[in-house]
Amino acid sequence: MKKFLLIAGLIACLSCPAQTQQGYRNPVIPGFHPDPSICRVGEDFYLVTSSFQYFPGVPVFHSKDLINWKQIGHCLTRPEQVNLNGASVWGGIFAPTIRYHEGVFYMITTNVTDKGNFLVHTTDPAGEWSDPIPIKQGGIDPSLYFEDGKCYLVSNPDNYITLCQINPKTGEQLTESKRIWIGTGGRFPEGPHIYKKDNWYYLLISEGGTEYGHKITIARSRYIDGPYEQNPANPILTHINRNMQSSPIQGVGHADIIQAPDESWWTVFLAFRPQSDMHHLLGRETFLAPVRWDKNAWPVINGDGSISLEMDVPTLPQQPFATKPVRTNFKNGKLGLEWVHVRNPHPENYTFDSNKLRLKPTPITLNDFKDSPTLVCRRQEHIDFTATTSVQLQKASSGDEAGLTVYMSETSHYDLFVKQLSDKKQALILRYRLGELSHIEKEIVLPKGDVQIRVKGNRDFYSFEYATNGKTFHELGRMNTRYLSSETAGGFTGIMLGLYAVSSNPSSKGYAEFEYFDYSGE
């Protein structure tokens, strides 16, 4: 009888769809995905992150469990929505906020290179979003809060957290801007979000700059426009303390808080993973931590305000998505949502033919600060990874080149490419651009035809390899990772792996064909 009851109990547990699970791995969205903001609609979570100089802008993700995320679109997909001309890795689209109210999704952000703060809206976050609606109040990192038919806006002009009411459909500012908090004294008070709990208005912000001194602080008030009193236990999330100085996670900050359907509370936030003697290359990534938020109390993040790569905590029932395939084969004639361009691209330079991606070379190079080169790229998501493609120049003129780039910025990238030298001669070249230095590291002559090129990354080096038979790869050279790091190269972005084509001949009729792109990491 006891055996029967035990079996019956096991069957009942296995058949229950809502079993709490234990543990997950950070980051939950790896690679360059900074400044996450989150909202919930029923049992569905939606999240957006910054995109800076890359187009389409502001990727949108969906999840059922806060741990497994799938990209479903972008908020800014049309040139009339976002002008990125001249945007560098310090410019373009800064931190967005996503909110849901009465059947409508709102995304508000800043284009620091163009017209400042604006919002877009939609009823389908995976579809097209509206044309931009400009916002008068300045600063960066704008956020929305809805209550009793009113929409409040907070941002940080002049390094003060400032509040006003707006009409979210028109952008009209309905009240004067009022300064409500300056933070705890850390530099760059930014990333404000307002929440209401137990008749308290809580104001969450970031301080310290998005570097090693980053931290999250919080204040509260009985009235939305203050006065706000700060939490005596601030900061509530940071890795600047001695106990976390050797943590593999640093720069923790810029958070948003959400309550799950089971009434548990969680926060998403950015951080980075240093490598190669405290340099970081992948950019700021999206992390997750549980929040304990008792009645009339201040929120406590993961017990002590720090987090780890392996989070041994109860979670929502986990609902993973299918594993991403290693290979992108271009057979469906379009690029996946993970692929983006530097600034607003020239669409005529990107076509598909015979199940291959065809890129038209132009004189706009990877070093260009203003225009958009013929470059399509995706994020490096792992410290240890391998990326491989097969490229062939067709009808090429002397000076045409195409290949694979490990791209941090216009002034910091490693390139492995095929270059047309003459009608019957081509070379495989490994080149670097580091600040004002540009140098050909290695050059070999190859027969015309397909060339398979590969980059392997680890904590300290990028190794560049090639093959002409698709099987036997030879190393052409190695480059130090730290020279492309944020600490060395600067900027707010992370490493992108790109396929590109460039020509020194404006009248070239040539093109480059890429058969596939493989990416795997661990």
Residues tagged active-site:
35, 190
Dist CA 475 CA 455 (whole Å): 9
DSSP 3-state of 311: strand
* CA 447 remoteness from chain centre: 39
Say which residues have a Cβ less than 8 Å from residue 289's Cβ, sequence separation at least 6. Answer: 237, 266, 267, 269, 301, 302, 307, 311
Angle at 13 between CA 12 and CA 14, to 5 degrees: 95
Residues 502 and 366 sit within 8 Å (Cβ to Cβ): yes
Measured CA to CA in angstroms, residue 179 lies from 112, 156, 191 at distances of 21, 9, 15
* CA 363 remoteness from chain centre: 29
DSSP of 439-481, one letter per residue?
A: EEEEEEEE-SS-EEEEEEE-SSEEEEEEESSSS--EEEEEEEG
- Percent helix, strand, coil in the chain (nearest 5)? 5, 50, 45
DSSP 3-state of 493: coil
Strands (DSSP E) contained in 123-222 are: 133-134, 143-147, 150-155, 161-166, 178-181, 190-197, 200-207, 215-221
Phi, psi of 349 (to 5 degrees): -90, 0
Task: Map tokens 């290979």 to a residue.
Answer: 327
State which amino acid sits at residue 340.
Answer: V
Exposure string (b/e) for 361-393, b if CB count within 10 Å is 16 or more?
A: bbebbbebeebbbbbbbbbbbbbebbbbbbbbb
DSSP of 87-121, one letter per residue?
A: --TTSSB---EEEEETTEEEEEEEETTTTEEEEEE
β-strand pairing of 116-122 with 133-134: antiparallel
Dist CA 169 CA 172 (whole Å): 8
Q: What's the residue count for the chain?
A: 522
What is the maximum span of the chain, computed from C-alpha positions, in angstroms? 85
Measured CA to CA in angstroms, residue 458 lies from 6, 69, 285 at distances of 48, 25, 18
- Give the pair of three-digit tokens for residue 296: 């009339």
Phi, psi of 395 (to 5 degrees): 55, 35
